[in-house]
Structure 1
Amino acid sequence: MLEHTSLPGSECPVARTLEAIGDRWSLMIIRDAFDDIRRFSEFQKSLGVAKNILASRLKKLVEVGVFDVCPASDGSAYKEYVLTNKGREIFPVVVSMRQWGERFLFEAGETQSVLLDKASGESLMPIEVRSASGQRLGPTDCRRVRVVASDL
């Protein structure tokens, strides 16, 4: 069996992102938060995840700055998990994963959920990678280089 190696010191942003938010339950919690779920019990009901796993994932997502824990917006004694700016910036990642799944993981006639623009009711345009000048880029159009973060 392979051992899980921690990657927080990796120079690869993908590896660090996976370490922070890359497990199934964390991404599903974040997805639900974009649907305005905020309370532990609501996450648990929506996902059907064991309470200990949910508590562990929410704790980690708070630690990495994806959520803040706030008093309930209705004045009750409950706490709510509210996406931070850092957490809201995960939205394009979730949409991109959703769009990939829509294209490749459903057979004709299968029921699936879709994400629509609230204002227009229309489907979203596919997310694309573009250069600074607006040109569409694919994997062969890009290269990785090593830099020091302060150089960005």
Structure 2
Amino acid sequence: MRQFDLTPLYRSTVGFDRLFSLLDAAADTAPTYPPYNIERTGENTYRISIAVAGFAEGDLNIEVKENALFVRGERQAVTSPSTTVLHQGIAARAFERRFQLADYVQVQGASIENGLLHIDLVREIPEALKPRRIEIAAPKALEATKEAA
């Protein structure tokens, strides 16, 4: 895949550095472990589901910082001197997933079910930023003639 150098854009623009940073991050090859889904569950609700088989609640850390959601997992090694692993197919490696959140997206909660970590998100737009209808007032000359009639 081709790499694009965004350096000339940094020099000739002001205030777009966050956008260019997102483009740089998107161009990098993203890790594929652990697999995840992003679902839209309603008009303003979303769910991120991450496959975390073998991880306990204490092995996972979810953190929101600015507009980024970080999910980290580090499985504590459980070794018993009386057992020997003949084949290890369940991944036990540490991971970190980062999701960029849009403005006004908040984390509602998280739960683990059937080896999946579910993180529920909701977009709550402040009332001041929601579209509102502006009524058109009648001209004052017309109002005066309506009142006289």
What's the TM-score once normalised by structure 2's chain length?
0.28
Name which structure has the greater RCO, CA cutoff 8 Å, separation 6+: 2
- The structure that is helix-richer by fraction is 1
Instruction: Return the index of the structure with the highest Cα Rg.
Output: 2
- The structure that is strand-richer by fraction is 2
What's the TM-score once normalised by structure 1's chain length?
0.28
